[in-house]
Structure 1
Amino acid sequence: MVAHDCWSSYYNDAFKHATHACCGAHIDRELEGVIQNHRQGWAKSMQNLLAKLYKTKSKLTARGQASAPKKLVQEFSAGYDRILERGFSRNPYQEPKERKRGKPKKGKVLCLLERLRDLKDDVLRFFTDFRVPFSNNIAERSFCMSKLKMKTAGSFRSADGGSNFCWIFSIIDTVRKNGGNPLKALEQLFNNSFSLAFFD
């Protein structure tokens, strides 16, 4: 499963066997841009729907449920479609006055609407499959340290240096996410006593 920000390159042959999920946080930011820059109410309705889906999923998982009732999924799906209908009626496609080379520009709002329509299953994946997170923020936070290192140091002097950094930081990040002590884990690593028993 790959959770991402809907870039078309993620849907190429390299990921054709993967299950896709669109990051809810990225979609929320795009909807916020439509609200602030274009004053369109459908975007706020979509934000509210996604927030309601998130809260409903949290309540269901707190009760020990592993999936949402089929009827509930259908109701939210129908609400999603109604919001998109409002969005498309507010932003009809207009043929360009002058025919130019390449694809005609549609504008950010219409492009977002088409993406939400075409990738509906992936947008709602976090609710139809409870194993899928709402966003990929955890993964992005994990990658942030590597980007910061590249920003401050420019690059590594050798491939081995970069590889060692990735190994060490992946251990630190994994242990921290599982409630362990990263410093203790590194001590164990250098003493050849490091264990992944905390995964059990």
Structure 2
Amino acid sequence: MFPELEEFENVIREKYSLLCIHCDETGMKVHGKRHWLHVASTDKYTCYFAHPKRGSEAIDAMGILPEFKWVAVHDGWKPYNGYNCDHALCNAHLQRELIGIEESYKQQWAKDMNELLSEMKKYTDECKEQGKYLDFEQVKALEKRFDTVVAKGIEENPPSLNPERQGKRGMYPKTKARNLLDRFIEHKEKILRFLKDLKVPFENNQAERDVRMMKLQQKISGTFRTTRGAEAFCRIRAYISTIRKNGLPVLEGILAALKGAPLAIP
């Protein structure tokens, strides 16, 4: 369905090979059953893909991450981490979780980490706006402060002080605070990648914006009646999103596609 747009989609996929891409997924209904909309996007290109599954099977079928070698920005969902590229975590997600930990557990490390991430973002934003290179010594100092905050978090969350309830065989489950702290320990490189490379964004807002239209469609229509209908909608919406991002006239682009000659994207 829409072979011209399929070719357009393939061209976009090729352009992803040297870009930092944003990945996300959201639920959708197809003939009354749970499906998933997957998105891989940049500020210039959008690719949507509908699939019955949420995990690696769907991501493989989409055909972007399996061959991708640069930086994938995402929310840390486990299947994404299995792909052989560099990864950057969405710090906006992490900041929301830090606020929750600060409010629910009254932990100082969460407050300090949230403020530190904001300070790091401000620094990288200023470098981008002023066309400056990152200062190695300043980056090193910020990273040292990150380690200090993590150490404070470990003091506030030693394993022996996390018995919300006793589990099987005398093992104590971790609190939400400790689980989040462990992510900062384990995924430090992914969290701070934006601080080492100005081409890497602080958050995954691009992907979240690009799935918003699908959520609106689901609110209005409720469900797609056929799988082919869902696939066609994804292809059309990806085309419209991409030409809009590139400042091209949407109506002209739609008419060109209907005539079998979609607009060329730089």
Q: TM-score, normalised by structure 2?
A: 0.66
Q: Is 2:122 aligned against 1:76?
A: no
Q: Is 2:230 aligned against 1:162?
A: yes
Counterpart position of 1:88? 154
Instruction: State the 1:154 CA deviation.
Output: 4.1
What amino acid maps onto 1:42 in structure 2? Answer: W
The counterpart of 1:7, out of the listed 77, 82, 85, is 77
Instruction: Give the Cα–Cα distance (whole angstroms) in 1 for the partners of residues 176 and 110 of structure 2.
Output: 13
Instruction: State the 1:153 CA deviation.
Output: 3.4
Q: Is 2:100 aligned against 1:30?
A: no
Unaligned runs of 5+ in 2: 1-70
The counterpart of 1:182, out of the listed 250, 254, 258, is 250
What amino acid maps onto 1:48 in structure 2? Answer: E
Counterpart position of 1:142? 210
Counterpart position of 1:132? 200
Instruction: Give the Cα–Cα distance (whole angstroms) in 2 for the partners of residues 102 and 189 of structure 1.
Output: 64
Change beyond 3 A, Cα 1:139–1:98: closer
Higher relative contact order (CA 8 A, sep 6+): 2
Instruction: Give the Cα–Cα distance (whole angstroms) in 2 for the partners of residues 5 and 102 of structure 1.
Output: 33
Counterpart position of 1:40? 107
Q: Is contact 2:166–2:172 with CA below 8 Å preserved after alignment?
A: no
Which stretch shifts more, 91-100 or 165-174?
A: 91-100
What amino acid maps onto 2:139 in structure 1? Answer: V
What amino acid maps onto 1:79 in structure 2? Answer: R
Change beyond 3 A, Cα 1:44–1:167: same
Counterpart position of 2:177? 109
Unaligned runs of 5+ in 1: none
What amino acid maps onto 1:49 in structure 2? Answer: L
Instruction: State the 1:101 CA deviation.
Output: 6.1
Bigger strand share: 2
1:100-134 per-residue CA deviation (whole Å, 9 max, x = no partner) reads 06974101000000100110000001111222111
Change beyond 3 A, Cα 1:98–1:106: closer
Change beyond 3 A, Cα 1:78–1:185: same
Bigger helix share: 1
Q: The residue matched to 1:155 in structure 2 has which SS?
A: coil
Counterpart position of 2:128? 61
What amino acid maps onto 1:9 in structure 2? Answer: P
Q: The residue matched to 2:88 in structure 1 has which SS?
A: strand
Q: The residue matched to 2:85 in structure 1 has which SS?
A: coil
What amino acid maps onto 2:227 in structure 1? Answer: A
What amino acid maps onto 1:77 in structure 2? Answer: E
Which stretch shifts more, 2-11 or 113-122?
A: 2-11
RMSD over aligned CA atoms reads 2.2
What amino acid maps onto 2:105 in structure 1? Answer: H
Q: Is contact 2:109–2:153 with CA below 8 Å preserved after alignment?
A: yes
Aligned residue pairs, count: 194
